[in-house]
Amino acid sequence: MPPTPKKSEVPTSAVLAFYNAVPSVFWSVLHLVPLSLFCYQYLPRLWLYGSIGVSLLMYAIPKAWFRRWQLSARPVAYQRLGIAIVGHLTQHGSVVHGLIRRHYPQYRRARSRQSVAGLLGNTYHMERFHVAALVFFLLCSISAATQGRWGWAVGLAVLNITYNLYPIWLQQYLRLRLTSINRPGS
C-alpha cells in the first residue's frame, strides 16, 4: 500500500490567492458597483476619460513622495483612527491569516528580512493603487456635486473614505510596523 501523502506545511500560492481574493472581491464589489452605476448613468464621457487620465497619473508619483503625505510617524495615531481594525478585515489581514493558519499552522507571511522587504515594497504598490482610485472617486464626487446630485456626491465621498483613504492609511501603518521589524537588531 502506498504511503499516505503528507499534508504540506505551507499553503500553495493558489490557496493563498483564493483566501485573499475573498475580502478583496467583497470590498471591491461593495464599493465599485455604486461608482460604476453613477459613472454609467450620470458621468459625462469626457469627464470620465479625463478622470481616468488624471487618476492614472498617480502611478507616476515617486516613492519618496509617499513619506511627505504620511499621516503620522507613530502607529498610535493610526490605531486611534481604527486602522488596526480595518487591517483585520482586508486581504492579508488577521481574519484571512487566521483561516490559513487553521489549516496550515506553520504558515508565516513574513518569514525573513527579505520577505519583510518584499511586503514593504507591496505597501507602496497598494498605496499607489488607492491614491489613483481616491482621485477618481473624488473627481466623480465633484461631478455629482456640480450636477446637484448631492446624494451621489456624499455617497461617493463616503465610499472613497472607506475604499481608498482608510486603505492608504493602512499601508502607511503597515510600513511603520514592518520598518520596526526590519531594523537591524530587532
Segments in the chain below pLDDT 50: 4-5, 186
What's the pTM value of the predicted model, to 2 decimals?
0.88
Number of compact structural domains in the chain: 1
Indicate whether 3 belongs to any domain. Answer: no
Nearest Cα neighbor of 135 from 40, 41, 69 is 69
Indicate whether 15 belongs to any domain. Answer: no
Indicate whether 162 belongs to any domain. Answer: yes
Nearest Cα neighbor of 178 from 118, 132, 130 is 118
Indicate whether 143 belongs to any domain. Answer: yes
Residue 107's pLDDT is: 82
Residue 185's pLDDT is: 54
Number of C-beta neighbours around residue 110 at 10 A: 15
Indicate whether 101 belongs to any domain. Answer: yes
Residue 5's pLDDT is: 46
Exposure pattern of 80-103 as b/e (b: 16+ CB <10 Å)?
A: ebebbebbeebbbbeebbeebeee
Indicate whether 9 belongs to any domain. Answer: no
d(CA 46, CA 142): 14
What is the residue whose three cell numbers read 452605476? 37
All three cell numbers of 112:
525573513
Indicate whether 84 belongs to any domain. Answer: yes
Residue 136's Cβ-count burial label (10 Å; 0-12, 13-18, 19+) is: buried
All three cell numbers of 131:
491614491
Helix pair 150-160, 13-42: axis angle to 10 deg: 160
| Residues spanned by the domain of 140 | 32-181
Indicate whether 150 belongs to any domain. Answer: yes
